[in-house]
Structure 1
Amino acid sequence: MSYFPAFLNLEDKRVLLVGGGEIAHTKLVHLLDFTSEISIIAQELSEKTKALAKERNLSVMQRAYSRGDITNFDIVIVAVDDISLQVKIFEESKQYNCLCSCVDSSKQSDFIFGSYIKKDDLTIAVSTSGASPALAKEIKKYLLNLIPDDIGAFLQEMKSLRETLPKGKDRMKMFKKRAEDYMKKWSN
């Protein structure tokens, strides 16, 4: 099965991360690129996870997960090795209509974390639908080397123009031309 590529706006979305080990830390770092509305439930937290949670003033509950903990969350990421707990949380998430992702368990996931690049307003995601996360990471490295350093400034200019120019065919043509010219400069 392939996953539908979508970019979610996490503003005003409450995220729960269940787990505090190395994999949970990696997921936390990725989530923090897009939101700080993150709570953590874990019996044990790695030193890196503790430090990051403290630095970013995240809510941390150092205890075991209990049924009902996901009640007020929109998104749940389960990063624990306990497969039976993953299944329980995933099944419970259906009752609350929240999206759930269980690390390394596509059967218990509404979505997966693809490999991604984030440079200012540019975000590029790469997914192999779980077939080879290692390949997705290699493709990410390849693409990262192709992105110019000034992409952020160009996107800010385009954003400003989009906010001020009236919609219509002339605007679309102008944006297309600017993007083409930028890409020509970029590829030379």
Structure 2
Amino acid sequence: MKNKRYFPLYVDLSDKNVVVVGGGTIATRRVKALLLFTRNITVIAPKMTADLWELGKLGKIQIQPRPVKKSDFSMAYMVLAVTNNRELNEEIYHACKEEGIYVNVASDKDLCDFYFPGICLKDDVVVGITASGMNHKKARAVREKVQALLEEIAKDEESYE
């Protein structure tokens, strides 16, 4: 099957509820990226990284240190399934599809309504980078170059003032 291209859509998440199921390194990276756009993040996992616990203590995210339940998605705009359990991730996918909730399953690009992009951010410019779930190293290399370019442009703008 030919790989699908996903349309880049920029969405205001400031008042949307995001549920992240999983508490590991990938979940932590995604939560930190999401915090640039919303504070309405709930992380659900029996075990979480120290960074997630700290973000919870600081009140930046809601943490639920327990297994996920289907009812956890009732108010979600989007859900990220970032566990190391493929079967659980697939259950989350199906539960979200039944409810019409956008879902991203980190372990299976075919179970994603959206890809979680590499994000470049400088002032009011936001650039999302994806390689359509095919080549994460390539996407990272592009993201790093675009971020460097944004930094360079910002320095140039300062010299014009």
What residue is the counterpart of 1:149 in the other structure? 154
What residue is the counterpart of 2:68 in the other structure? 65
The separation in 2 between residues aligned to 1:131 and 1:95, in whole angstroms, is 27
The separation in 2 between residues aligned to 1:13 and 1:150, in whole angstroms, is 34
The structure that has the greater radius of gyration is 1
Shift of 1:67: 2.2
The separation in 1 between residues aligned to 2:13 and 2:40, in whole angstroms, is 8
Identical amino acids, percent of aligned pairs: 25
Q: What TM-score, normalized to structure 1?
A: 0.77
Does residue 114 of the first structure (1) align with residue 126 of the second (2)?
no
For the 8 Å contact 1:36–1:56, the answer to whether it is kept is no
What residue is the counterpart of 2:87 in the other structure? 84
- 1:26 is paired with a residue of what secondary structure? helix
Q: How many residue pairs get matched?
A: 154
User: Gapped runs of 5+ residues in structure 2?
Assistant: none
For the 8 Å contact 1:115–1:133, the answer to whether it is kept is no
- 2:76 is paired with a residue of what secondary structure? coil
The separation in 2 between residues aligned to 1:8 and 1:39, in whole angstroms, is 18
What residue is the counterpart of 2:27 in the other structure? 24
- 1:146 is paired with a residue of what secondary structure? helix
Deviation per residue, 1:37-81 (Å, 9 max, x gap): 111110001111111222243211110011221111111011101
Aligned amino acid, residue 28 of structure 2: H
Residue 131 of structure 2, aligned match among 121, 124, 128: 128
Task: Write out the 4+ residue segments of structure 1 that deviate beyond 6 Å after TM superposition.
Answer: none
The separation in 1 between residues aligned to 2:18 and 2:148, in whole angstroms, is 31
Aligned amino acid, residue 17 of structure 2: R
What residue is the counterpart of 2:77 in the other structure? 74
User: Gapped runs of 5+ residues in structure 1?
Assistant: 155-184
- Greater relative contact order, per chain length (Cα 8 Å cut-off, separation 6+): 2
Does residue 97 of the first structure (1) align with residue 89 of the second (2)?
no
Aligned amino acid, residue 154 of structure 2: D
Q: What TM-score, normalized to structure 2?
A: 0.89
**Cα 1:8/1:46, change in 2 over 3 Å:** same
The separation in 2 between residues aligned to 1:104 and 1:121, in whole angstroms, is 31
Aligned amino acid, residue 149 of structure 1: A
